[in-house]
């Protein structure tokens, strides 16, 4: 004999009920069945709302009753042949009339007792089970209906009654022995006290009803039919990558269900555990799916953690003070007062010093618990031996669960380091002696990030999902997005990095998509996006609170550079090619570096110097290994190198500068490059990364541009000024030719002094043969004394800059 239970979503409507009837009839060919059904989906919530409105003298409860009635009448009309509907509809109408009478009483009295509430809530299962039983009889005659209130007897603890198993088991066995039907259908959730008063078994109690029946009759199996393919490694509504668990032990299932795995009501396991009856969780809508098999044995798949679960809406209450140290009975008094208030304690942890004890309860119980505890310890509080209890609301408990966790070292370390890297603050920790569960209390706003981060760490083959928020989609930004789209599959398969672009913004529009923007259609998407708003962009990143978030700045905008602090404080990594932040005031640069360390949020800016060349990374490695950089000589502007390599008697200076802009080598405002400020920023960043303190004003800038060129306010006037001063530039070129030298814009640092300026480079100098848009840097250090460390390569261009940004993103993924 088997017991099958179908939940509210399985019987949500007539279409779903027909699927249930098919499953029942197919299984009845091999086994005798007891079928337990819940109320139609959402009906129990409607009944509860109606009773609350009636008790508060709100006449809208009548509209809710009408909605409930219509829902069930529709089910009858769609499931029962017209010729058979009359008696069924009459029965439904009688039940609804009884419900209305009870609610009218609540309305007149203006109150709702727990006893009355139990009776009202029972109508959901009474209505659904009767309709489904009648529908089953139409095609399967060897079936009968039984009211579970006649079999399951409880105490009078209305709302969550305790079952009297001695009486209940005897009644069930006597009934079953006298019944010859192949299928017995009955309502779940509801029971009655020994003196015949309606009681309920708690929300989710239909599972419990089925387990009570299975345990009493020594069933071969208990099947829980729901709308998912079993118990999952995490809540699939929050963790999209969650997978069904094929096999799990009773103890693991109890832990997961206790900590919020809603697919199974926690008390369900107890009646079948004693009889070693397996539970099979199946999907009504995919009956062929494997589901989850719960038994005494947990089949190991090599993974010590079986699942991650959570409970939301938790309040943490802490009682502490020197008056608790060495005083016996403090804990007893605390838990006694909570028991008297019928407050369930979900989480407990106590300091080894006995100075404090911390408990987790539901938010709804917080006020009553605080008042009761402070009253119980009133004398000690007045004597300042114990502090008034500390109450922290809107928290969440997350838990790792697994039978084999006790055999694996370091799981706690992995759990907390993973959360720490994403700035998930741990408020309290508890671990049972069985080591089957590690629990932590966190802020509720961090739930999604925490669950996804932990699931990624323990279940996804260490694949790390990076969520990118990109500002700036010009030449470099477009290349960057193209490179991500091209390499996405390779990164996931080979580096275990899953890249998703969550947001894109240019100066006019922005788009957000938490599931990831389609990188093949982003152009049209952003054109149809909402107006760009920097403050709203920051707020959205903060509100989404995604794990492994990275803000990517591909602009040259000073305002954008000032947002980095906001992101780093939220543990959002920053990757930027924008040089303004790192070349701003030294205190700001230092603050950003400190925030990066404090909030464990990488701040990477490799492309600030040399585009895609590993210049800054080399400096970091030299310094980290104990070397000291004493001197730097460099050509750091690919755009200026391109300009002076192509400026000759056949190409005017103005023409070459325009061509550099067309090829994407200069900033949108070419004056930034030609003025030397861009190179000054770059050498300043190298100096600071080398461990020296310096401001931009301390760098001598020997400009080769005439003052009139520098005073222009737009690109049109600037290019006109280059034409007007063509003779000046031709004179510089002539002097270089006369000296048999080449023009290079050089940055230097030595003995605490730095300068940038145009120089005549002779043929024997390493810079002489620097072609195209290449950069070159010479580092003279304690280790590289006679022969400098040399880095050379393309230092400008959209593609190489984008690849440098991409490399920084990948670095974060590999951390």
Specify whether the CB–CB gap between 250 and 270 falls below 8 A.
Answer: no
Q: What are 399's two structure tokens?
A: 């838990």
Specify whether the CB–CB gap between 636 and 609 falls below 8 A.
Answer: yes
- Distance of alpha carbon 418 from alpha carbon 340, whole angstroms: 39
Cα 755 to the chain's mean position, in Å? 48
Q: Which helix (H) or strand (E) is 735 found in, with range?
A: helix 726-738
- Distance of alpha carbon 510 from alpha carbon 528, whole angstroms: 9
CA nearest neighbour of 125 among 145, 111, 144: 145
Torsion from C-alpha of 795, 796, 801, 804, nearest 10 degrees: 0
Q: Give 493's DSSP letter.
A: I
Torsion from C-alpha of 673, 679, 681, 687, nearest 10 degrees: 170
Determine which one of 5, 146, 282, 682 is catalytic.
Answer: 682
Residue 534 has a CB neighbour count (10 Å cut-off) of 15
Upper half-sphere CA count for residue 693 (Cβ side, 13 Å): 5
Active site residue 166: no
- Distance of alpha carbon 217 from alpha carbon 209, whole angstroms: 13
Q: What are 341's two structure tokens?
A: 């208030």
Q: Quickly tell me which residue has 């947001």 as its tokens.
A: 503
32: helix, strand or coil: coil
- Distance of alpha carbon 190 from alpha carbon 148, whole angstroms: 7
- Distance of alpha carbon 80 from alpha carbon 717, whole angstroms: 84
CA nearest neighbour of 317 among 228, 406, 387, 239: 387
Cα 332 to the chain's mean position, in Å? 38
Specify whether the CB–CB gap between 307 and 232 falls below 8 A.
Answer: yes
Catalytically annotated residues:
682
């Amino acid at each position: 004999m088997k017991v099958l239970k179908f939940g509210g979503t399985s019987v949500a409507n007539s279409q779903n009920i027909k699927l249930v009837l098919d499953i029942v009839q197919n299984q009845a060919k091999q086994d005798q069945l007891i079928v337990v059904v819940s109320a139609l989906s959402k009906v129990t919530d409607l009944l509860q709302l109606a009773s609350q409105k009636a008790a508060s003298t709100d006449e809208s409860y009548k509209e809710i009753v009408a909605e409930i009635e219509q829902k069930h009448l529709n089910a009858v009309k769609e499931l029962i042949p017209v010729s058979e509907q009359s008696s069924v509809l009459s029965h439904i109408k009688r039940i609804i009339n009884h419900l209305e009478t009870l609610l009218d009483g609540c309305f007149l009295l203006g109150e709702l007792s727990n006893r009355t509430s139990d009776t009202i809530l029972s109508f959901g299962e009474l209505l659904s089970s009767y309709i489904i039983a009648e529908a089953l009889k139409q095609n399967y005659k060897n079936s009968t209906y039984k009211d579970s209130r006649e079999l399951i007897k409880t105490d009078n603890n209305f709302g969550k009654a305790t079952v009297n198993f001695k009486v209940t088991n005897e009644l069930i066995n006597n009934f079953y022995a006298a019944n010859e039907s192949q299928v017995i259908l009955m309502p779940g959730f509801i029971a009655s006290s020994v003196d015949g008063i309606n009681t309920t078994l708690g929300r989710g109690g239909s599972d419990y009803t089925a387990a009570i029946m299975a345990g009493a009759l020594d069933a071969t199996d208990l099947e829980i039919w729901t709308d998912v393919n079993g118990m999952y490694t995490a809540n699939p509504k929050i963790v999209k990558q969650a997978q069904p668990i094929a096999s799990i032990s009773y103890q693991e299932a109890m832990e997961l269900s206790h900590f919020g795995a809603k697919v199974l009501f926690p008390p369900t396991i107890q009646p079948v555990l004693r009889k070693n009856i397996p539970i099979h969780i199946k999907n009504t809508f995919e009956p062929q799916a494997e589901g989850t098999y719960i038994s005494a044995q947990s089949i190991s798949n090599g993974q010590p953690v079986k699942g991650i679960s959570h409970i939301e809406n938790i309040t943490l209450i802490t009682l502490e003070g020197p008056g608790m140290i060495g005083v016996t009975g403090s804990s007893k008094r605390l838990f006694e007062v909570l028991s008297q208030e019928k407050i369930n304690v979900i989480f407990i942890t106590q300091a080894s010093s006995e100075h404090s004890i911390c408990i987790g309860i539901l938010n709804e119980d917080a006020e009553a618990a605080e008042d009761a505890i402070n009253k119980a310890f009133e004398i000690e509080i007045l004597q300042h031996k114990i502090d008034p209890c500390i109450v922290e609301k809107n928290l969440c408990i997350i838990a790792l669960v697994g039978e084999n966790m006790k055999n694996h070292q370091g799981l706690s370390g992995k759990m907390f380091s993973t959360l720490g890297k994403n700035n998930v603050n741990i408020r309290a920790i508890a671990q049972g002696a069985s080591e089957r569960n590690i629990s932590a209390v966190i802020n509720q706003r961090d739930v999604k990030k925490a669950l996804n981060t932990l699931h990624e760490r323990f279940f996804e083959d260490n694949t790390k999902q990076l969520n990118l928020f990109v500002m700036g989609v010009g030449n470099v930004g477009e290349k960057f997005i193209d490179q991500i789209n091209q390499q996405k599959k390779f990164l996931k398969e080979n580096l275990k990095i899953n890249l998703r672009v969550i947001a894109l913004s240019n100066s006019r529009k922005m788009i957000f998509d938490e599931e990831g923007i389609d990188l093949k259609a982003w152009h049209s998407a952003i054109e149809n996006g909402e107006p760009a708003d920097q403050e709203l962009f920051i707020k959205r990143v903060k509100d989404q609170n995604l794990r492994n978030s990275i803000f990517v700045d591909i602009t040259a905008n000073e305002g954008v550079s000032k947002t980095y602090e906001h992101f780093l404080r939220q543990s959002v990594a920053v990757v930027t090619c924008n040089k303004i932040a790192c070349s701003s005031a030294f205190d700001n640069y230092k603050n950003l570096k400190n925030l990066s360390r404090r909030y464990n949020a990488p701040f990477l800016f490799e492309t600030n110097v040399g585009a895609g060349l590993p210049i800054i990374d080399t400096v970091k490695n030299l310094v980290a290994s104990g070397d000291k950089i004493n001197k730097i000589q460099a050509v750091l502007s690919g755009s200026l190198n391109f300009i002076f390599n192509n400026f000759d008697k056949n190409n005017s200076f103005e023409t070459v500068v325009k061509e550099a802009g067309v090829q994407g080598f200069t900033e949108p405002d070419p004056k930034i490059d030609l003025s030397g400020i861009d190179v000054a920023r770059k050498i300043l960043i190298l100096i600071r990364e080398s461990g020296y303190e310096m401001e931009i004003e301390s760098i001598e800038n020997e400009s080769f541009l005439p003052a009139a060129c520098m005073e222009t306010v737009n690109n049109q006037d600037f290019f006109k000024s280059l034409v007007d001063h063509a003779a000046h530039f031709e004179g510089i070129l002539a002097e270089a030719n006369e000296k048999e030298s080449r023009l290079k814009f050089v940055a230097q640092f030595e003995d605490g002094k730095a300068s940038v300026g145009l120089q005549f480079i002779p043929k024997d100098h390493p810079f002489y043969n620097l072609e195209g848009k290449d950069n070159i840097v010479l580092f003279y250090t304690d280790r590289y004394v006679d022969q400098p460390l040399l880095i050379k390569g393309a230092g400008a261009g959209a593609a190489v800059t984008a690849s440098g940004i991409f490399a920084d993103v990948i670095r974060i993924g590999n951390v």
